Amino acid sequence: MARLGIKRTRSHSDAIVSSSSSHGGAGKPHPVVKMCGITSARDAEMAAKEISRVARSYGAESVGVFVDDDEETILRVSDSCDLNFIQLHGDESRALVHTLSKNNRIVYVLNADEDGKLINSSPVLEYALDWFLVDSAKGGSGKGFNWQKFQMPLVKSKNGWLLAGGLHADNVCEAFSSLKPNGVDVSSGICAPDGIHKDPNRISSFISNVKSLSCRS
CA distances from 98 to 32, 125, 147 (A): 25, 8, 29
Rounded to an integer, what distance in angstroms lies between the CA atom of residue 105 and that of residue 95? 15
- Are 96 and 88 in contact by the 8 Å Cβ rule? The answer is yes
| CA pair distance 190, 60, nearest whole angstrom | 20
Give the domain ranges of the chain.
2-216
pLDDT range class, residue 33, cuts 50, 70, 90: confident
Per-residue pLDDT at 121 exceeds 60: yes
Residue 24: band (very low, low, confident or very high) from pLDDT cuts 50, 70, 90? very low
pLDDT at 35: 73
pLDDT band at residue 5 using 50, 70 and 90 as cut-offs: very low
Taking only the tens place, the pLDDT of each residue in 150-169 is 999 999 999 999 999 999 99
CATH fold of 2-216 reads TIM Barrel (3.20.20)
Q: Looking at 41-50, 80-89, 195-204, which range is the least confident one? A: 41-50
**Better-scored residue on pLDDT, 95 or 140:** 95
pLDDT at residue 96 in the model:
96
Residues 164-208: tens digit of each pLDDT: 999 999 999 999 999 999 999 888 888 888 877 888 899 889 988
- Cα 199 to chain centroid, rounded: 19
User: Pick the residue with more confidence: 123 or 13?
Assistant: 123
Residue 32: pLDDT over 60: yes
Beta bridge partners of 162: 133, 183
Instruction: Give the global pTM.
Output: 0.76
Give me the percent of the chain exceeding a pLDDT of 90: 44
Go through 174-203 and write b for each residue having 16 or more CB atoms within 10 A of its CB, e for each that does not.
ebbeebebbbbbbbbbbbeeeeebbbeebb
